[in-house]
Structure 1
Amino acid sequence: MTKVVRFHELGGPEVMRVEDLEPGEPGPGEVRIRVEAIGLNRAEALFRRGVYIEPVRRFPARLGAEAAGVVEAVGPGVTGFAPGQAVSTVPGFSQNDYGVYAERAIVPAWALLRRPDGMDAVAGAAVWMPYLTAYGALVEVGGMRPGDAVALNAASSGVGLAAIQTANRVGARPIAITRGNGKRERLLAEGAAEVIVAGEEDVPTRLMELTGGRGVEYVFDAVAGPGVTDLARAVAPGGTHFLYGALSGLPTPYPGFDLGMPALNMRTYTVLETMRDPERLRRGTEFVASGLRDGAFRPVVDRVFPLEEIVEAHRHMETGDQFGKIVVTTSA
């Protein structure tokens, strides 16, 4: 038997239960891993509440797509992986099909990456989702270049911090936007070129000042909602406003007409664009791996919870107060 987190109805963190189940055997193209650490993502909280881009198709439902562990068994047709290998999962599969909130989990083999030598499980569960999200939008799709400026909100999240490091990696200028002054110094220490405190400064005015009136080439927006109009005011002509989250929970207008129809590109982005395209994923993993090797990328972990405290871990995630990635460890 193995401990597995499931939920039997939609709702808040309290609907999650830690249950004992048979781990099962991997089928064709699948691998069973002994999970050591799990990276939490807001997509899982949205899925649990029934407000994710993909609805829950059946109950009881499982959660989780990002984990690090060790291969235990491989299914028919799987090559390149063997029992005993340290691996991480990349979150490209549906939570309706697989879930890694467990001591043991079956996942598709294509969603596995070998864990870099010297990387422990906690770091291995905190790398791929944040960095591939930032890389996929800003570099792969956006073509971010040296000298470009990128404004990013939710800057203290795992993805926000990865975006700061990614911008610095390519010679761009990351400008972090945060709700309060308490995280300013930490964001600067993590590589932000500038920090704007939204509650104290006029964000579009400050962005224009910091770019000499040019505007930013990119907005990397995890919040969306009515605030997109103000952010769009500071996008340089031909620049791109990426929407990769909707933390505001409010309707998101298209601001182009209200702003006089500027040369504004506005598009949604999810990490699935990278995860489900083999060539993009290959380029992305090489980009991230090179940054890990030379120290340019350093995953930031906020707190580590045991699996038995998964409800508290989700409650902490939903406060929005974390700085970096929240990770859950197992006793398997």
Structure 2
Amino acid sequence: MTRAVLFHGLGGPEVMRLEEVEVGEPGPGEVRIRVDAIGLNRAEVLFRTGHYIEPVKRFPARLGTEAAGAVEAVGEGVTGFRPGDAVSTVPAFSQNDHGVYAERAIVPAAALVRRPEGLDAVGGAAVWMPYLTAYGGLVEVGGMRPGDTVVLNAASSSVGLAALHVAERIGATPIAVTRTAAKKEALLKEGAADVIVSGSEDVAERVLAATGGRGAEYVFDAVAGPGVRDLARVVAEGGTLLLYGALSGRETPYPGFELGMPALNMRTYTMLETARRPERLRRAAAFVTSGLRSGAFRPVVDRTFDLGDIVEAHRYLESDARIGKVVVTVAH
């Protein structure tokens, strides 16, 4: 038996319960891991509340796709991993099938990456989703190159911070957008070339001024909704507006026609495009591991909670107070 977080109905953080469950043995292509730390993501909030890109199919339901720990057992056909290996999981599976909010969890071996030497469990639970999202969207899919400019909203999120670091390492110029001035200095320290406070500044005007009127080759948008009209105005000719989140919760228009039909590329992107394709994941893991070893990349952890405080951890996750990742630690 092991303790795992379950929820028996949709709702707020209070629907989550820590319960004793049977962990079992890994099946073909699966691995059982001892979970030492869990990275919390907005996807879990959306899944718990019934607003994720896939619905909850059964109750009680589990949560979580990002964790760090050690391999305990491997199933039939699994090669490349053995008991004792320090690993992290990447979000490459459905929460309807597996969940890592637990002391022990069974996950697909295809969702495991080796934890680089020197990276502890908290760091191992904090780096993969942010950097896979940023690298996959901007580099693997978008093709970002040195000299390009990228505009990033929700810049103080774990993905926003990772995107700042990825852009800087590629040689691109990252411009961060944040709602209030409270996080401006922190974003500059994290590598933003400029920070625009959307609550008091005109984002389009500031971006166009910063780029000499050219605009940005990339806009990496976590918010979506009606705001894409303003963001689309700053996309350079032939540039791309990548929507990787929908924090606004509002309908998202396609603004190309009302802007006079510019050469605007606009597409959605999810980290699953990277995590579920072996070759893309291999390249992404190599890129992120290289950045961690050089010091260009690092986990940015705002706060940690104990597994028993998962409800409070989710309340904090849903607040606007944090800068970076929220991680839950698991005592054994």
- TM superposition score category, shorter chain reference: over 0.9
Which whole-Å deviations, capped at 9, do the CAs of 1:250-275 have from their partners, x for residues lacking one?
11111111111111000000000001
Equivalence for 1:254: 254
In structure 2, what residue type is equivalent to 1:94?
A: S
Q: Distance in 1 between matches of 2:172 and 2:291?
A: 15
Please tell me the residue identity of whatever aligns with 2:283.
R
Letter in 2 for 1:40: L
Q: Which runs of 5+ in 2 are unaligned?
A: none
Supply the AA of the counterpart residue of 1:194: D
Listed one character per residue, the Cα deviations across residues 160-189 of structure 1 (whole Å, up to 9, x for unaligned) are 000000000000000000000000000000
Residue in 1 that maps onto 2:162: 162
Please say if 1:303 is aligned against 2:303: yes
User: Which residue identity does 2:101 align to in structure 1?
Assistant: Y
1:10 alignment partner in structure 2: 10
Cα deviation, 1:218-254, whole Å, max 9, x if unaligned, reads: 0000000000000110110100000000000111111
CA distance in 2, matches of 1:84, 1:205: 54
Q: Secondary structure at the match of 1:214?
A: coil
**1:218 lines up with 2:218 in the alignment:** yes
Summarize deviations over 1:56-90 as a string: whole Å, max 9, x none. 00000000000000111111111111111110001
1:80 and 1:144 map into 2 onto residues whose CA distance is 32
For residues 202 and 4 of structure 2, the distance between their equivalents in structure 1, rounded to whole angstroms, comes to 46
SS in 2 for 1:31: strand
Map 1:12-161 onto structure 2 (within 5 A): 12-161=12-161
Query: How far, CA to CA, are the matches of 1:227 and 1:59 in structure 2?
Result: 36
Task: State TM-score, norm by structure 2.
Answer: 0.99
TM-score by length of 1: 0.99
SS of 2:270 mapped into structure 1: coil
Report SS of the residue matched to 2:318.
helix
Write the mapping of 1:195-274 to structure 2, written as runs, cut at 5 A: 195-274=195-274
Over the aligned positions, Cα root-mean-square deviation in angstroms equals 0.6
Distance 2:298 2:35 in 1: 22
Question: Matched residues in 1 for 2:230 and 2:313: separation?
Answer: 33
Of all paired residues, the percent bearing the same amino acid is 75
Does residue 315 of structure 1 match 2:315?
yes
Residues 277-286 or 161-170, more deviating: 277-286
Partners in 2 of 1:289 and 1:142 — Cα distance?
A: 20
CA distance in 2, matches of 1:230, 1:302: 30
User: Deviation of residue 320 (structure 1)?
Assistant: 2.5
- Partners of 1:106 and 1:42 lie apart in 2 by 22
Q: 2-side partners of 1:327 and 1:23: how far apart?
A: 22
Letter in 2 for 1:39: G
What is the one-letter code of the residue matched to 2:327? V
Which runs of at least 4 in structure 1 moved beyond 6 Å after TM superposition?
A: none
Deviation at 1:97, TM superposition (A): 0.3
Task: Tell me which residue corresponds to 1:171.
Answer: 171
Match of 2:192 in 1: 192
Write out per-residue CA displacement over residues 269-301 of structure 1, whole angstroms, 9 at most, x where no aligned residue: 000000111111111111111111100001100
Shift of 1:35: 0.1
Query: In structure 2, what is the Cα distance between the partners aligned to 1:312 and 1:121?
Result: 21
* Residue segments in structure 1 that go unaligned for 5+ positions in a row: none
For 1:91, the aligned partner's letter is P
